[in-house]
Structure 1
Amino acid sequence: MAFLQGLDSHIVIVGCGISGLGAAMRLVQHGFHKVRIVEATGRAGGRIKTTLWGGKFVEIGANWIHGPCQENPVFRLACDYHLLDEKSMTEENQSIDVEGHPPFVPNWFTSSGQKVSVGMTEPASMLYMKLLQESQEFSVEDQEVLPTSSVGEFIKCKAKQALDEEQVDKTTKDLKQAVINTLLKAECCVSGTHSMDDVCLRAFGMYKTLPGLDCTFPGGYEGLIRCMAQDLPKDIVSYNKPVKCIHWNCTDQNSSSSEKRLPVLVECEDGEKIPADHVILTVSLGFLKRNHKTLLNPEIPPHKVQSIQNLGFGTNNKIFLEFEEPFWDPDCEIIFFLWEDEPELTDVVSNLDIFWMKKLFGFTVMTPAERYGHVLCGWIAGHESEHMETLSQVELECTITRLIRRFTGNPTITPKRVLRSQWYHDPYTYGSYTYIAKGCSGQDIDNLVEPLPLKGSQSKPLQVLFGGEATNRSFFSTVHGALLAGWREAERLISHYAPSTFPEACSSKL
């Protein structure tokens, strides 16, 4: 009987990204019929965002399925909805394990306009990858004294030692240093951080990769969102409805539509007040950092606030360029830029206004060419990326054009069109995704996951639950991490009403 009564519970999900959609799908599948999603914007998907640009689908947000294998729920859903090409679904593609770093075929260009062979850059690349691997091997449980507190400091210290010990000429040493700097900047994009100096060394290995060669959606990532939304009851999502405040442990409700006094009241900016038994909050960590004081009433307990502040949430943006003809090799998959005037190992710039473009480590080549033509996707992270968002379109295009001409040595090359993402200035994200910042640990994620009211309270349990990629210990920063987190919170409610049916439902370490 308890479970049947639970099916009448009013459940409000805040945010219609994949975490919120996943939670709603799981609840509806298990018979909950009073589920509502409130979404601040006019679209579903959150940080999954596809746009049509020059007749081509490009991803403003999430780009790949990372680790497309049977363990990855996003991959399984994409296969079920027939959204991937045949190659991506092959057993061979699923079995390749690249440990989060696909083996892209590179072209290297220097700031003096020279193309450098892979043979010249490979020794430094191999040194960097070796150090990156070592930085992932420290255990959170180990009590040993760490050589440094951050990943960036560890790699730079070890790299400097290795370069100083080599008996090579200054030109060769400078080239190797430039390679490591470029790869550090690339890693800032992977981690979504301003600098690898901000990423915790002890916890770096918490992030888990899945086997499979990363793949993309031929028709755009948003195709997955559309398919998921179509599997939900009609009108379950209310768009353009920002939430002003979630009142939990409610004692006063001004809603005539409520037949009973419910413990939560979701107050929207348009004045609507939605009573609920449970709320699943799937907003970005960036939004929580900015708004946690006013978003929940009473305020979030101090230890949860501390964990929100401890965890890192950075910006990683894209700059798309289309050309009439490629300046890269036919087999090239990634282009790296080597700055020859950086006197030390670094992944940040000295002056944002003047040198922000030096944080742009390079471009991935959009493939296949039959689909995209000659399109590159540039990657830039950190405060430099946030500054880039503030530039006018004309200034951005002029700067990028000068950059391409400088590195290729071709004074006439000009992009046909330029498009950028601007995630930092999006008022509902304030950045891109989560990283484990220096000084915090997996316990901070556990604290963030903990539902309100806290365990042991005499109040009605599970009033506010927390989803989104930031709440996944192993897969933070990923789409599959966000989806798993949404499922976890839905299953927490299912288990609450039918505990014997879902004994393992509420593990926070999915």
Structure 2
Amino acid sequence: MDPMGPVVLIIGAGISGLAAAQKLYKHGFKNLRILEATGRSGGRIRSQKYAKGLVEIGAQWIHGPSPSNPVFQLSTQYDLLSPEALSEENQLVELEGHPMFSVIYSSSGKQISTEIGENVVEMFSSWFQKSREFTKGGCNPEDSVGSFLRQEISCSYSNWDKDSLELKMALLNCLFKLECCISGTHSMDCVALGPYGEYKILPGLDCTFPRGYESLVSHIKASFPSDMVLLNKPVKTIHWKGSFHGSDSHMYPVQVECENGETFIADHVIITVPLGFLKEKATDLLSPPLPSYKLQAIQNLGFGTNNKILLEFEKPFWEPECYAIQLIWEGESPLTEPKTNLQQDWVKKIPGFVVLQPPEQLGHVLCAFIAGKESEFMESLSEDEILSTMTSLLRKCTGTPNLPPPISILRTRWHSEPYTCGSYSYVAVGSSGRDIDMLAQPLPEERECAKPLQVLFAGEATHRNFYSTTHGALLSGWREAERLIDQYPALHSVFSKSKL
């Protein structure tokens, strides 16, 4: 066997691809290359200068920063987090419910009592927890999280105070919009109820990176040679089950053909591209084509868009202790289906704003989240149109007609990104966790076990319990690296001895 190990190609330099490369390199695999379609590494982790500091275009938080989260562990090892994030107290926080908003504004320009808000969030959180209890059955395969939540509301609202009924419905409708952002879906009616509880929520108070999420990417990349990552190499076709001549006179089963005609041969290829890209390209990406069960799994699973609109203000109109602003539209209810005019009403899909911290480093910046079809429509608008709409929205909801407009705007466009085609995955109605496992299954299939593995799959959409997260993506990269390490025990043995 080549002392450098087998030739491994990794498609995609997001965190799953980088994590796979890091682990393989550490275990003696030196014939490694990462082919990245774009001009940068990091994938859906992207930090950018804005206002007075750095903001996140993609992944925002470490969700559940505690000892069981590998992203938290790596970030701690690399000394990338604040002392507060590392405190034991923060690591023990159990986020069972939903985040509270410190200020709630209505579409008539009134500020709503936080007491009513807390009451509604408490109710919604209890129903939300119940929606996670169907993993062992008890519901129809076509049931959605949205339909379940509406059923719970319908069984409860007759006991509510009539004077606050309409307001509570509007607040609940806003929480549905927030949940769409969290799940990366257009509607909670798209999210399957049965498998919903398989997603694991880790303990810990969500935290950010003082020097940007990309600081983690930089540290992972620094652990292996920089020339292993080849940028601007979009892949056209992955030919497998073949016999391709190498320059070393060996025959290789895999050849990767790039859009520019360049080819690379390999023993193994790890595909780490987003599910959104697979939905667009999977039928033509591999030759021979992917098995029908894999194509079906790709089609079944959900992949939606969650975008951000960042607004910088010269002076804050919010109080220093305000950390989040909720917006509700009077007259809306989760029990009625609104007739939406995207041109006029896209902005109503925004559940609110997060106040980015700390202002002394960033400036005065609000970050709105928006999901679904409205989010995709927003991508088609100019920044001037968005800024004008957001100024009108804030003037209307705060009841301040002369509120100064933002001094700058930055919005994300994940649906328009050709190699991403959205934000992250969810288990859609009609799919299940089994589809995630199908997507993660390497090729050739087990029944062809006489043949060594040629095509492996990683990425957040391939992790059954942590899909949609950076820690899911990281773990999936490690998982596929381990799969290859297990196939080459002799290499690992030689490498271990050489380190002694």
1:112-191 correspondence runs (5 A): 112-139=108-135, 141-142=136-137, 144-146=138-140, 149-169=143-163, 172-191=164-183
| Structure 1 unpaired stretches of 5+ | 503-510
1:297-376 correspondence runs (5 A): 297-342=287-332, 345=335, 350-376=340-366
**Among 388, 391, 394, which residue is 2:384 paired with?**
394
Q: Distance in 2 between matches of 1:279 and 1:244?
A: 14
**Among 267, 278, 284, which residue is 2:257 paired with?**
267
1:345-494 correspondence runs (5 A): 345=335, 350-413=340-403, 414-457=405-448, 460-494=451-485
Change (3 A) 1:501 1:277: closer
| Offset of residue 348 of structure 1 | 7.0
CA contact (8 A) 1:194 1:348 kept: no
Change (3 A) 1:168 1:348: closer
Q: Distance in 2 between matches of 1:464 and 1:481?
A: 20
User: TM-score, normalized by length of structure 1?
Assistant: 0.93
| Offset of residue 168 of structure 1 | 1.8
| Offset of residue 329 of structure 1 | 2.8
> What is the match of residue 505 of structure 1?
none
Change (3 A) 1:200 1:6: farther
Q: Distance in 2 between matches of 1:501 and 1:13?
A: 20
CA contact (8 A) 2:466 2:472 kept: yes
1:341 aligns to what SS in structure 2? coil
Q: Distance in 1 between matches of 2:431 and 2:3?
A: 37
CA contact (8 A) 2:142 2:192 kept: no
| Offset of residue 405 of structure 1 | 0.7
Q: Distance in 2 between matches of 1:6 and 1:297?
A: 30
CA contact (8 A) 2:459 2:477 kept: yes
Moved more, 13-22 or 123-132: 123-132
The letter of the residue matching 1:149 is: D
Q: Distance in 2 between matches of 1:457 and 1:147?
A: 32
CA contact (8 A) 1:199 1:437 kept: yes
What are the superposed Cα offsets for residues 412-467 of structure 1, whole Å, 9 maximum, x if unpaired?
Answer: 22111111000000001000001010121111011001111111216632100000
Change (3 A) 1:499 1:166: farther
> What is the match of residue 41 of structure 1?
38
Change (3 A) 1:349 1:387: farther
| Offset of residue 347 of structure 1 | 8.2
| Offset of residue 272 of structure 1 | 1.2
1:25 aligns to what SS in structure 2? helix
CA contact (8 A) 2:141 2:429 kept: no
Q: Distance in 2 between matches of 1:477 and 1:352?
A: 26
Q: Distance in 2 between matches of 1:15 and 1:371?
A: 32
1:235 aligns to what SS in structure 2? helix
Q: Distance in 1 between matches of 2:4 and 2:225?
A: 15
Change (3 A) 1:27 1:501: closer
Q: Distance in 2 between matches of 1:146 and 1:133?
A: 18
| Offset of residue 161 of structure 1 | 2.5
Report whether the alignment pairs 1:220 with 2:217. no
> What is the match of residue 488 of structure 2?
497
Change (3 A) 1:127 1:147: farther
| Offset of residue 501 of structure 1 | 8.3
Q: Distance in 1 between matches of 2:64 and 2:171?
A: 26
Moved more, 221-230 or 123-132: 123-132
Q: Distance in 2 between matches of 1:454 and 1:292?
A: 17
What are the superposed Cα offsets for residues 228-251 of structure 1, whole Å, 9 maximum, x if unpaired?
Answer: 111111300100010010001014
> What is the match of residue 507 of structure 1?
none
Change (3 A) 1:159 1:397: same
CA contact (8 A) 1:9 1:34 kept: yes
**Among 200, 203, 208, which residue is 2:192 paired with?**
200
What are the superposed Cα offsets for residues 142-166 of structure 1, whole Å, 9 maximum, x if unpaired?
Answer: 2x34497000111112112211333
Q: Distance in 2 between matches of 1:147 and 1:183?
A: 24
Q: Distance in 1 between matches of 2:334 and 2:484?
A: 53
Moved more, 412-421 or 157-166: 157-166
Q: Distance in 2 between matches of 1:6 and 1:146?
A: 54
User: TM-score, normalized by length of structure 2?
Assistant: 0.95
CA contact (8 A) 1:280 1:464 kept: yes
| Offset of residue 227 of structure 1 | 1.1
The letter of the residue matching 1:155 is: L
The letter of the residue matching 1:128 is: F
Q: Aligned Cα RMSD in Å?
A: 1.9
2:464 aligns to what SS in structure 1? coil
Q: Distance in 1 between matches of 2:102 and 2:247?
A: 61
What are the superposed Cα offsets for residues 29-55 of structure 1, whole Å, 9 maximum, x if unpaired?
Answer: 000110000000110000000000123
| Offset of residue 25 of structure 1 | 0.4
1:474 aligns to what SS in structure 2? coil
The letter of the residue matching 1:226 is: S
2:180 aligns to what SS in structure 1? helix
Moved more, 483-492 or 404-413: 404-413
Which 4+ residue blocks in structure 1 deviate beyond 6 angstroms? 499-502
The percentage of counterpart residues that share the same residue type is 51
What are the superposed Cα offsets for residues 291-337 of structure 1, whole Å, 9 maximum, x if unpaired?
Answer: 00111111110011111011000000000011122222322211110
Report whether the alignment pairs 1:18 with 2:15. yes
CA contact (8 A) 1:453 1:459 kept: no
Q: Distance in 2 between matches of 1:420 and 1:452?
A: 39
Q: Distance in 2 between matches of 1:345 and 1:501?
A: 59
